[in-house]
């Protein structure tokens, strides 16, 4: 008896699961049809669209099945054989799978006149408002098809439409067609071209913006004026004066962000870019720091750059390290002369003492020298580098 009830219970679950999946699929197909043709709530918003008695399919349902589940692929077929294409019946809100359901105005073959005076107004970098004068028809105009760049993008029963799927600094071509209840389509309206404006900077970064210096590993607070039409902000940085931008964070909904600078492994100069986006994630404004900021892994205090020193003398190289270099186990000091590609080792120190006495090399002529300090942990892994400004080494007299 227990086995009998257990078997019955399992079969019931299987039935419910299959019924739920099939119901969901049917609902999904009908929703897809309504979305494609704007027929939600009309007479053909019904399972009778594709079925005689469920689950049996009518000819339109079979055509949809064989088309790869694409309603638009079977628009020009006459699935129910009543003399009207499927799209003609859909536009007339009659069932394309039922030969007894066909457009009332079956003798109407006259298309509407072309819409006129198509114009674009209120053009921004995120939307274009289109309007036109109504078409006429011997029976009645059902609606209008809107074309952008020769592709239909929408239809409406009114004489205006707002296109929001656009980008700044782009030229678009538009025209409109009218259609009646049985699918007759008018000639094109006048064709217009519309160019959206470029993104303009009408907001600005507040800080950093004055060429400030920061230690790597510290938190760099970035703030900007909120844009009145912005919903989101993206932040990026560039270490090559804006040639390329590297994302820091996207989708910020406030007007500030704390940038963790521990990712930098050498002294860098960088600029910050903040971009503002509207609710459709279309960029509407941007601003970048006026001057590059400096993020220093270590600051070489001596030499500061520009010193003139005699070869053979001793220079005390002194530096200050950022928190990123806390685990330094070994410091190597290098130098190169006259923009050579070769770095020469001056000396190696255990730990990170913050200074090194360097005996200046003997040169045959006055030479420019640059110093580089390399920081490594106890595994020999590179933690970072710092490079000095140039100094001059002269020949001893």
What values do phi and psi take at 96, rounded to 5? -75, -5
Which of 314, 319, 365, 372 has its CA nearest to residue 341?
372
Q: Which residue has the higher pLDDT, 24 or 187?
A: 187
Where residue 146 falls among pLDDT bands split at 50, 70, 90? very high
Ramachandran area for residue 163 (φ above 0: left; ψ -120 to 50: alpha; else beta): beta
What is the average per-residue pLDDT within 288-299?
A: 91
Weakest mean pLDDT among 7-11, 31-35, 166-170, 260-264: 7-11
Where residue 6 falls among pLDDT bands split at 50, 70, 90? very low
Q: Which residue has the higher pLDDT, 201 or 80?
A: 80
The per-residue pLDDT for 55 is 80
The answer to whether residue 17 scores a pLDDT higher than 80 is no
Where residue 103 falls among pLDDT bands split at 50, 70, 90? confident
The per-residue pLDDT for 53 is 78
- Domains along the sequence of the chain with CATH: 2-91 (no CATH), 116-195 (2.60.40.10), 205-296 (2.60.40.10), 298-394 (2.60.40.10)
pLDDT in tens, 241-268: 888 999 999 999 999 999 999 888 888 9
Where residue 203 falls among pLDDT bands split at 50, 70, 90? confident
**Residue 92: Cβ within 10 Å count:** 24
The per-residue pLDDT for 379 is 94
What is the average per-residue pLDDT within 61-69?
A: 89
210 to each of 2, 124, 131, 296, how far by Cα in Å? 81, 32, 48, 16
Per-residue 3-state assignment (H helix, E strand, C coil) for the chain: CHHHHHHHHHHHHHHHHHHHHHHHHHHHHHHHHHHHHCCCCCCCCCHHHCECCCCCECHHHHHHHHCCCCHHHHCCCCCCCCCCCHHHHHHCCCCCCCCCCCCCCCCCCCCCCCCEEEEEECCCCCCEEEEEECCCCCCCEEEEEEEECCEEEEEECCCEEEECCCCCCCEEEEEEEEEECCCCECCCCCCEEEECCCCCCCCCEEECCCCCEEECCCEEEEEECCCCCCCEEEEEEECCCCCCCEEEEEEECCCEEEEEHHHCCECEEEEEEEEEECCCCCEEEEEECCCCEEEECEEEEECCCCCEEECCCEEEEEEEECHHHCCCCEEEEEEEECCCCCCEEEEEEECCCCEEEEECCCCCCCEEEEEEEEEECCCCCEEEEEECCCEEEECCC
The answer to whether residue 1 scores a pLDDT higher than 60 is no
Distance CA 58, CA 239 (A): 65
Distance CA 165, CA 178 (A): 22
pLDDT in tens, 208-228: 988 898 989 889 999 999 998
The per-residue pLDDT for 91 is 83
What is the average per-residue pLDDT within 158-165?
A: 94
In this prediction the pTM is 0.46
The sheet carrying 298-302 orders its strands as 298-302, 314-321, 355-359
Distance CA 218, CA 91 (A): 64
What is the average per-residue pLDDT within 1-7?
A: 49
Where residue 352 falls among pLDDT bands split at 50, 70, 90? very high
Distance CA 58, CA 46 (A): 13
What is the average per-residue pLDDT within 328-342?
A: 95
pLDDT in tens, 37-57: 888 878 888 889 888 877 889
Residue 332 β-bridge partners: 348, 374
Where residue 201 falls among pLDDT bands split at 50, 70, 90? low
| Burial class (CB within 10 angstroms; exposed 0-12, middle 13-18, buried 19+) of 341 | exposed
The answer to whether residue 272 scores a pLDDT higher than 50 is yes
The per-residue pLDDT for 313 is 92
**Residue 142: Cβ within 10 Å count:** 19
CA angle 299, 301, 304 (to 5 degrees): 110
Mean pLDDT (the chain) is 88
The per-residue pLDDT for 105 is 57
CA angle 219, 220, 223 (to 5 degrees): 135
The per-residue pLDDT for 139 is 79
The per-residue pLDDT for 26 is 53
What is the average per-residue pLDDT within 100-125?
A: 86
Contact call for residues 238 and 227 (beta carbons, < 8 A)? no
Distance CA 213, CA 261 (A): 12
């Amino acid at each position: 008896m227990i086995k009998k009830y257990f078997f019955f219970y399992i079969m019931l679950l299987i039935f419910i699961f299959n019924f739920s999946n099939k119901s969901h699929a049917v609902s999904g197909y009908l929703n897809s049809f309504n979305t494609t043709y704007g027929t939600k709530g009309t007479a053909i918003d019904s399972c009778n669209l594709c079925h005689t008695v469920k689950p049996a399919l009518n000819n339109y349902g079979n055509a949809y099945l064989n088309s790869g589940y694409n309603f638009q692929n079977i628009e020009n077929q006459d699935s129910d054989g009543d003399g009207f294409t499927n799209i003609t019946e859909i536009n007339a809100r009659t069932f394309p799978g039922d030969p007894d359901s066909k457009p009332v105005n079956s003798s109407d073959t006259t298309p509407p006149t072309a819409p006129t005076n198509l114009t674009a107004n209120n053009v921004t970098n995120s939307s274009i408002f289109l309007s036109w004068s109504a078409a006429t028809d011997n029976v009645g105009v059902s609606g209008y098809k809107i074309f952008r760049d020769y592709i239909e993008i929408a239809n409406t029963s009114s004489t205006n439409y707002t296109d929001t799927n656009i980008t700044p600094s782009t030229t678009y071509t538009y025209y409109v067609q009218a259609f009646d209840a049985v699918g007759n389509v008018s000639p094109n309206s006048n064709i217009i071209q519309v160019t959206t404006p470029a993104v303009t900077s009408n907001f600005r970064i507040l800080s950093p913006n004055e060429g400030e210096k920061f230690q790597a590993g510290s938190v760099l607070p970035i703030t900007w004026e909120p844009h009145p039409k912005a919903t989101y902000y993206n932040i990026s940085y560039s270490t090559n004066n804006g040639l390329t931008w590297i994302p820091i964070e996207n989708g910020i909904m406030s007007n500030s962000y704390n940038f963790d600078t521990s990712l930098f492994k050498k002294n860098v100069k960088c600029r910050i870019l903040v971009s503002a986006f509207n609710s459709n994630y279309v960029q509407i404004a941007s601003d970048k720091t006026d001057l590059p900021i400096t993020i220093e892994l270590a600051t070489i205090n001596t030499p500061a750059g520009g010193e003139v020193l005699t070869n053979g003398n001793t220079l005390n190289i002194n530096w200050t390290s950022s928190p990123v270099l806390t685990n330094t186990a070994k410091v190597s000091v290098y130098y190169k002369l006259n923009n050579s590609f070769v770095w020469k080792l001056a000396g190696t120190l255990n730990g990170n003492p913050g200074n090194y006495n360097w005996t200046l090399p003997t040169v045959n002529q006055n030479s420019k020298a640059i110093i580089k300090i390399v920081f490594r942990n106890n595994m020999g892994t590179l933690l970072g580098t710092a490079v000095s400004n140039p100094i001059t080494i002269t020949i001893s007299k």
